[in-house]
């Protein structure tokens, strides 16, 4: 065996030889029997796998320079022992390798889910030390009671408020949005809606004054306010609709689905993210469809699958219908209610309806956030009705329907002086709701009594919309026929509005308004000129004061006994 032959005298193995050996050793340690490439310059012409019993079991390739081999072999007995000694001394440690394969032979399925930690205390945890706990409580009780007492009587923090956010002192108009083709036709904004993420506002065009608008072509427009380069005159999505749209509601979880009710009585659901083919579902004109304009649509969670939603529509034909999106783009009727004069609860004396009229037209609906089956209907007769989805009694109506219609009314409230245009249930108190009507008054009702708790005259003309603020328990906004949006703060004054925002210059009415639940300082309002204005409210309307919930409670408790 010859290692790399060096011309000239044999160099001491300590230097180059050892390196070469070490490299060779390391390089070929890639696996048993696998020769590694030599990194230093190779002289070799031929490579001969070494058959010499390798030192410590590692085979190595050795290179033989044929030109030198004769001379080397001749003197082998001189240099061979020295080389062998070197090999032994600078050999890398053996690398033992072994192969093994691993495979599970048994397996079991298990599901993992985090769980709320088991209830503790008042509810005891076994391992704590009762005597030490008792001693601790004995030590601290007196001090805690003293502090509690002091706190109760303290006036130290009266009127002390901290401002954490930048104060916005006034109400400003952020955007003025409009769609010129619709405005050119003299269309009104009949309804606005914010989507679930709070970044898109959609408006429905139609007409709210008297007349036959059944053949009027109209539009549903949506603007994405978070998009850069927002052009107020160019909506990010426009849907053409063959009939005037009376109401609009965005889906509670799908950011681009929106339901609308038409003057013709149909209910349609669009997807505004697909401008070429936005229509998802429609009711069509079947026996089940409303025969009068649909004044309000809402999305409701399905009773058993709370992540899926149904559409509820109310119309002046007296029907309240629940629709489910079915196959082939058809909205199927799942449940229906009909309001009939004879079946109204008689707890309040109402004016006798004209002869022959048995239906009670519904113009507005609001669901209570606290009880999912309870809802309030506003009617053409001016009286709100407390209704329940769980009502069983069949409605005495001869209107054809594929689903049996039930009578939902449970309680009749004392009426306004004219039809109601809007109702809104308080998100902070289970018993309070507001209604606004053509008599220019706002009534604050408690579910517990027929007479309103308060009646405020806001306008000498009609009031078209009223909405509670989603963040301030005592604040609500109303849209008036005199062209302004009035914001009421019941904490400051219950007689006159805190802020009155002039939306239209020529006193044409404001027809609709909606608070943005995600960006709570925004309020959108649509008017008869076809513009939607997005108002930014001052901080006082968006930050809850220290005692508001209690004040609201107090207000609700003023129920006459």
**Which residues here bind another protein, judged by CB under 8 A?**
116-117, 119-125, 128, 130-134, 136-141, 143-145, 147-149, 151-152, 154-155, 157-158, 161, 544-547
As a whole number of angstroms, the distance between CA 363 and CA 336 comes to 16
As a whole number of angstroms, the distance between CA 373 and CA 368 comes to 8
As a whole number of angstroms, the distance between CA 415 and CA 300 comes to 27
CB of 550 to another protein, least distance (A): 8
From residue 153, alpha-carbon distances to 141, 160, 258, 548, 554 in Å are: 19, 16, 53, 20, 21
CB of 396 to another protein, least distance (A): 46
Residue that has been written with the tokens 């399905």 in this structure? 302
Q: Which is nearer to another protein, 102 or 162 (CB)?
A: 162
Nearest CA among 253, 175, 171 for reference residue 475? 171
CB of 124 to another protein, least distance (A): 7
CB of 144 to another protein, least distance (A): 5
Nearest CA among 498, 504, 500, 525 for reference residue 514? 525
What number of CA atoms fall less than 13 Å from residue 318's CA on the CB side? 22
Q: Which is nearer to another protein, 154 or 457 (CB)?
A: 154
Q: Which is nearer to another protein, 106 or 132 (CB)?
A: 132
Cβ atoms of 343 and 407 within 8 Å: the answer is yes
Q: Which is nearer to another protein, 158 or 506 (CB)?
A: 158
Q: Which is nearer to another protein, 124 or 451 (CB)?
A: 124
Contacts with 486 (C-beta within 8 Å, 6 or more apart), sequence order: 458, 459, 477, 478, 480, 497, 499, 500, 501
CB of 546 to another protein, least distance (A): 5
CB of 537 to another protein, least distance (A): 19
Q: Which is nearer to another protein, 254 or 544 (CB)?
A: 544
Residue that has been written with the tokens 């919309």 in this structure? 465
Q: Which is nearer to another protein, 124 or 214 (CB)?
A: 124
CB of 496 to another protein, least distance (A): 26
Quick one: CA torsion of 241, 243, 245, 251, rounded to 10 degrees? -50
Q: Which is nearer to another protein, 137 or 403 (CB)?
A: 137
Beta strands in 440-550 (DSSP E): 441-446, 454-457, 463-468, 475-480, 484-489, 499-502, 510-515, 522-527, 531-536
CB of 361 to another protein, least distance (A): 43
Residue 129, classed as helix, strand or coil, is coil
Extract the tokens encoding 555. Answer: 């207000």
Q: At CA 428, angle to CA 423 and CA 430, rounded to 5?
A: 70
Contacts with 370 (C-beta within 8 Å, 6 or more apart), sequence order: 430
Q: Which is nearer to another protein, 34 or 547 (CB)?
A: 547
CB of 156 to another protein, least distance (A): 9
Q: Which is nearer to another protein, 112 or 125 (CB)?
A: 125
CB of 151 to another protein, least distance (A): 5
Extract the tokens encoding 393. Answer: 């009694």
Q: Which is nearer to another protein, 484 or 489 (CB)?
A: 489
Nearest CA among 306, 331, 307 for reference residue 321? 331
CB of 490 to another protein, least distance (A): 18
| Buried-exposed string 20-51: b where 16+ CB fall within 10 A, e elsewhere | bbeebbebbbeeeeebbebeeeeebeeeeeee
Extract the tokens encoding 300. Answer: 């409701």
């Amino acid at each position: 065996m010859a290692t790399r032959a060096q011309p000239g005298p044999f160099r001491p193995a300590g230097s180059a030889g050892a390196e070469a050996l070490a490299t060779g050793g390391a390089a070929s340690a890639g696996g048993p029997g696998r020769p590694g490439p030599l990194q230093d310059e190779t002289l070799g012409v031929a490579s001969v796998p070494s058959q010499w019993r390798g030192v410590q079991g590692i085979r190595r390739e050795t290179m033989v320079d044929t030109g030198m081999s004769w001379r080397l072999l001749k003197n082998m007995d001189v240099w061979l022992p020295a080389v062998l000694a070197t090999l032994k001394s600078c050999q890398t440690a053996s690398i033992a390798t072994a192969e093994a394969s691993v495979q599970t032979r048994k397996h079991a399925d298990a599901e993992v889910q985090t769980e709320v930690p088991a209830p503790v205390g008042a509810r005891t945890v076994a391992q704590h030390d009762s005597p030490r706990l008792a001693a601790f409580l004995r030590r601290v009780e007196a001090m805690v009671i003293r502090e509690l007492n002091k706190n109760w009587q303290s006036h130290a923090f009266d009127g002390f408020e901290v401002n954490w956010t930048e104060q916005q002192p006034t109400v400003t108009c952020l955007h003025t949005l409009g769609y010129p083709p619709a405005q050119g036709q003299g269309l009104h904004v009949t309804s606005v809606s914010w989507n679930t993420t709070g970044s898109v506002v959609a408006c429905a065009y139609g007409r709210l004054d008297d007349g036959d608008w059944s053949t009027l072509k109209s539009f549903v427009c949506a603007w994405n306010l978070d998009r850069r380069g927002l052009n107020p005159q160019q909506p990010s999505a426009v849907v053409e609709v063959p009939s005037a749209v009376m109401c609009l509601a965005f889906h509670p979880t799908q950011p681009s689905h929106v339901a609308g009710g038409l003057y013709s009585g149909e209910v349609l659901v669009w997807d505004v993210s697909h401008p070429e083919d936005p229509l998802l579902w429609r009711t069509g004109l079947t026996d089940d469809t409303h025969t009068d304009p649909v004044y309000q649509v809402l999305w409701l969670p399905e009773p058993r699958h709370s992540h899926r939603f149904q559409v509820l529509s109310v119309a002046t034909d007296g029907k309240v219908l629940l629709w489910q999106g079915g196959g082939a783009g058809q909205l199927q009727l799942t449940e229906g209610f009909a309001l009939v004069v004879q079946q109204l609860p008689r707890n309040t004396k109402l004016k006798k309806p004209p002869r022959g009229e048995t239906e009670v037209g519904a113009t507005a609906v609001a669901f209570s956030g606290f009880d999912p089956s309870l809802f309030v209907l506003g009617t053409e007769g001016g009286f709100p009705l407390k209704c329940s989805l769980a009502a069983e009694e069949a409605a005495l109506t001869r209107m054809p329907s594929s689903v049996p219609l039930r009578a939902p009314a449970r309680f009749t409230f004392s009426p306004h002086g004219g039809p109601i245009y809007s109702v809104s249930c308080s998100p902070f108190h289970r018993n309070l709701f507001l209604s606004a009507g053509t008599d220019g008054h706002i009534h604050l009702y408690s579910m517990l009594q027929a007479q309103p708790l308060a009646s405020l005259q806001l306008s000498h003309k009609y009031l078209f919309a009223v909405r509670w603020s989603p963040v301030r328990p005592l604040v609500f906004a109303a849209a008036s026929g005199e062209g302004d949006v009035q914001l009421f703060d019941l904490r400051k004054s219950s007689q006159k509005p805190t802020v009155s925002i002039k939306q239209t210059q020529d006193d044409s009415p404001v027809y609709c308004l909606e608070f943005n639940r995600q960006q709570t300082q925004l309020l959108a309002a649509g008017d008869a000129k076809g513009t939607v204005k997005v108002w930014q409210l001052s901080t006082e309307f968006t930050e809850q004061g220290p005692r508001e919930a209690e004040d609201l409670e107090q207000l609700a408790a003023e129920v006459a006994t």
